[in-house]
């Protein structure tokens, strides 16, 4: 039989006054954040550390998610087919799509004023937003393929037969640039990789939060 390394009580499965062992994944998480260095500990003795580990895990995941969301911008998206000075390997095609409700664009009853006036600003910002969504998809897909940039990118707007709805598609070639000094923000791609790796490690503790 094992005993708790803090209170020395023996682990038992008794209904009353039971001494239960803290799950090994929770132990790993507490040790990972250097809150303690446990091997076999009971629930009572580890309670505060358990709570601390949970909150550290949640905080760290939030930080990493933010880093990942902002560092994907490091993946440049170009329309050029062979950017000057770039040495790269083509990895594969990446595509993205989203839809946007256009409202006034197809509603001719709204009149010209809406199209050239306030309405068009609203549409422009909607379209810009939709393009950003597509670019983010291209970037993430490129990173997942092990690429660090997207070239020969093409963006298309199409009617999908649903009233007042436009489909926006983007496609490009994901490439792995080897002379990374030509990239504008190669450090962001490094940050992305590090954050993704760490998040992967933390996912081992997922059930815990």
Q: What is the contact surface with Zn ion in residues (CB under 5 A)? A: 4, 6-7, 42, 45
Start-to-end CA distance of the chain, whole Å, equals: 29
Could you tell me the two tokens for 9? 């009580």
Q: How far is CA 37 from CA 21, 32, 40, in A?
A: 15, 9, 10
Cβ 50 to Zn ion, closest distance in Å? 12
Closer of 49 and 148 to Zn ion (Cβ): 49
Cβ 30 to Zn ion, closest distance in Å? 14
Closer of 6 and 152 to Zn ion (Cβ): 6
Cβ 11 to Zn ion, closest distance in Å? 9
CA angle, 200 then 34 then 13, to 5°: 90
Cβ 16 to Zn ion, closest distance in Å? 16
Cβ 10 to Zn ion, closest distance in Å? 10
Closer of 38 and 205 to Zn ion (Cβ): 38
Closer of 4 and 134 to Zn ion (Cβ): 4
82, burial (CB in 10 Å: exposed 0-12, middle 13-18, buried 19+): exposed
Closer of 14 and 116 to Zn ion (Cβ): 14
* Element at 101 (helix H, strand E): strand 88-101
Q: How far is CA 195 from CA 52, 67, 80, in A?
A: 22, 7, 29
């Amino acid at each position: 039989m094992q005993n708790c390394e803090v209170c020395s009580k023996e682990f038992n499965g008794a209904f009353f006054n039971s001494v239960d062992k803290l799950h090994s994944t929770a132990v790993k998480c507490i040790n990972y954040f250097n809150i303690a260095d446990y091997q076999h500990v009971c629930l009572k003795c580890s309670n505060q550390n358990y709570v601390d580990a949970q909150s550290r895990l949640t905080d760290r995941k939030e930080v990493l998610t933010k880093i990942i969301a902002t560092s994907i911008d490091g993946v440049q998206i170009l329309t050029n087919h062979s950017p000057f000075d770039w040495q790269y390997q083509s990895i594969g095609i990446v595509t993205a799509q989203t839809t946007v409700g256009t409202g006034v664009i197809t509603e001719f009853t709204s009149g010209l004023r809406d199209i050239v006036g306030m309405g068009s600003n609203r549409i422009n910002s909607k379209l810009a937003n939709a393009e950003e969504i597509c670019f983010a998809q291209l970037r993430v897909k490129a990173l997942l393929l092990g690429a660090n940039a997207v070239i020969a990118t093409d963006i298309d707007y199409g009617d999908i037969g649903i009233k007042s709805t436009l489909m926006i598609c983007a496609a490009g070639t994901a490439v792995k640039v080897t002379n990374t000094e030509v990239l504008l923000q190669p450090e962001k791609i490094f940050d992305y990789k590090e954050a993704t790796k760490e998040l992967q490690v933390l996912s081992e503790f997922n059930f815990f939060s």
